[in-house]
């Protein structure tokens, strides 16, 4: 097999050499050309038709973001962004993922050979995943075209039956709830008999909503940290050494409430929390999270806890960006945050996130530096596992696009423990159909849906 052709784009000749050498350590890839800025990159993409592009974010004349938008509009192909770790570079990287980049890696430190080696391993892994995802997409599209082109043989009138709708097919594929009321032995037999199937159909384009004008004045500029309300609440919680009591006056009575955090939204509530949604994603996740969170209403009656595989610091920029689109308050999680309705919390890069019950009947977030799990910290499995003992909550679990299998094993455990619903993004809209596929193969997914259908169905399930 011929090696895949790669175009390396960076304004630094030294960095172009480093990245090229890292790529060609794998015989499956060959650097066929390099470019010093975005304008050159567009010309060489059109001229050479490479299989994959690595793209620096910050470059003179035309930066990586501008070049990415043109490439994805005119000749879409996998683009892996190389990002600096400064604040502006992180913000632009989040935008690049939203606009169609396959994934990103941080630029290696040229003074550390160990760091260069680690970045090279990550880059080659992403490149292989990008080529695998492209191959799977091509096979799927070819199969669909062959099915659509196959002539339908006429049948006798008495044998004709109505063709079931895709909604009816999907409904038949959904798994029943575990807490069905059957005796344990009968329920186990029924579960073993269930063979959930995957719905595959031609991909539909995902319609992107415009960002609300009221939440941001510039499309590409990130706002200050997601909400000062989170900050004030956190400071108050940390000052407490025991369970605090806050007296709230109303016109009719004085009510005593355990805990002292401020509210995220006026309709949000921490006391009496009865529902929770946990979401996991990886490659392609920022775009998927945007599509999900911008379609969840502000009065959503559950907090949403999210693990997105991403390095430290980038998750803060991601939370700020998502906060400009979503009716919910979206913030990077901090230790001790009290979970509230109408809010979404993103695990910070480099930390595992767990949901922990408190003595006052509330639920808080715990962040730990435990060993990486499934190669990741944060890990979706760690988050899902923390929900296992919380049987008093109505729990819902979602797995969306991402390479690997993180989250699948604990989704299976949640399903077997009686979780209310489990969702997986279907192959047709996944950037990488890895994590959702693993869950489907473990037969623990009740709803297999394209990305644009997950939010409305989740709202329906939770409300």
Positions annotated as catalytic residues are 282, 309, 406
Q: What span, in angstroms and rounded, lies between the C-alpha atoms of 419 and 415? A: 5
- Return the exposure string of 46-72: e unless at least 16 CB atoms fall within 10 Å of the residue's CB, then b: eeeebbbbbbbbbbeeebbbbbbebbe
Both ends of the chain: CA-CA distance in Å?
A: 52
Residues contacting residue 182 through CB under 8 Å, at least 6 positions apart: 190
Q: What span, in angstroms and rounded, lies between the C-alpha atoms of 447 and 292? A: 15
Residues contacting residue 306 through CB under 8 Å, at least 6 positions apart: 278, 279, 280, 281, 289, 344, 345, 346, 347
Any idea which residue has 């941001």 for tokens?
Answer: 216
Torsion of CA 143, 149, 150, 153, to 10 degrees: 150
Classify 355 as helix, strand or coil: strand
Q: What span, in angstroms and rounded, lies between the C-alpha atoms of 216 and 122? A: 34
Residue 463, judged by CB atoms within 10 A of its CB (0-12, 13-18, 19+), counts as exposed
**Which pairs with CB-CB distance under 8 Å and at least 24 residues apart come from 99-105?**
99/65, 99/68, 99/69, 99/72, 100/68, 100/72, 100/76, 100/287, 101/55, 101/68, 102/78, 102/126, 102/130, 102/133, 102/283, 102/284, 102/431, 103/129, 103/130, 103/283, 103/284, 104/80, 105/80, 105/81
- Taking each continuous run of H as one helix and of E as one strand, the counts in the chain are 14, 16
Residue 45: alpha-carbon gap to chain centroid: 29
Residues contacting residue 343 through CB under 8 Å, at least 6 positions apart: 264, 265, 268, 303, 304, 328, 329, 330, 331
Torsion of CA 102, 380, 196, 449, to 10 degrees: -50
Specify the pairing of strand 304-308 against strand 343-346. parallel
């Amino acid at each position: 097999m011929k090696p895949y052709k790669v175009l390396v784009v960076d304004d630094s000749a030294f960095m172009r050499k480093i990245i090229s050498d890292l790529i060609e350590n794998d015989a499956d890839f060959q650097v066929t050309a390099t470019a010093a800025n975005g304008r050159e990159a567009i010309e060489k993409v059109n001229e050479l038709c490479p299989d994959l592009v690595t793209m620096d974010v910050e470059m003179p004349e035309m930066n990586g973001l501008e070049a990415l938008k043109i490439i994805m509009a005119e000749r879409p192909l996998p683009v892996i962004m190389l990002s600096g770790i400064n604040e502006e570079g992180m913000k632009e990287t989040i935008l690049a993922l939203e606009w169609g980049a396959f994934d990103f890696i941080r630029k290696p430190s040229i003074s550390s050979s160990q760091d260069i080696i680690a970045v090279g391993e990550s880059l080659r892994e992403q490149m292989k995943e990008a080529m695998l995802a492209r191959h799977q997409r091509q096979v799927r599209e070819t199969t669909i075209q062959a099915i659509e082109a196959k002539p339908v043989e006429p049948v006798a009138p008495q044998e004709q039956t109505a063709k079931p709708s895709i909604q009816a097919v999907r409904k038949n594929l959904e798994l029943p709830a575990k807490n069905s009321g059957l005796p344990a032995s009968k329920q186990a037999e029924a579960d073993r008999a269930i063979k959930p199937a995957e719905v595959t159909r031609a991909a539909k384009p995902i319609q992107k909503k415009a960002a609300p004008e009221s939440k941001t004045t510039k499309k590409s500029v990130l706002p200050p940290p997601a909400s000062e309300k989170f900050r004030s609440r956190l400071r108050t919680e940390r000052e407490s050494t025991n369970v605090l009591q806050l007296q709230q006056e109303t016109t009719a009575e004085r009510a005593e409430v355990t805990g002292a955090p401020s509210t995220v939204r006026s309709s949000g509530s921490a006391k009496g929390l009865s529902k929770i949604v946990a979401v996991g994603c990886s490659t392609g996740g920022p775009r998927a999270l945007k599509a999900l969170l911008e379609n969840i209403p502000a009065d959503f009656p559950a907090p949403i806890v999210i693990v997105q595989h991403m390095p430290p610091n980038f998750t803060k920029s991601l939370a700020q960006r998502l906060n400009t689109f979503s009716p919910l308050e979206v913030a990077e999680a901090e230790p001790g945050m009290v979970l509230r309705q109408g809010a979404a919390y993103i695990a910070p890069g480099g930390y595992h996130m767990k949901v922990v019950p408190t003595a006052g009947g509330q639920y808080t977030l715990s962040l730990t530096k435990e060993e990486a799990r499934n190669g990741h910290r944060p890990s979706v499995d760690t988050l899902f596992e923390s929900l296992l003992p919380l049987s008093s909550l109505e729990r819902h679990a979602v797995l969306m696009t991402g390479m690997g299998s993180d989250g699948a094993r604990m989704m299976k455990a949640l399903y077997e423990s009686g979780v209310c619903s489990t969702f997986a993004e279907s192959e047709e809209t996944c950037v990488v159909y890895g994590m959702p596929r693993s869950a489907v193969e473990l037969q623990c997914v009740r709803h297999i849906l394209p990305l644009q259908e997950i939010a409305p169905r989740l709202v329906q399930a939770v409300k």
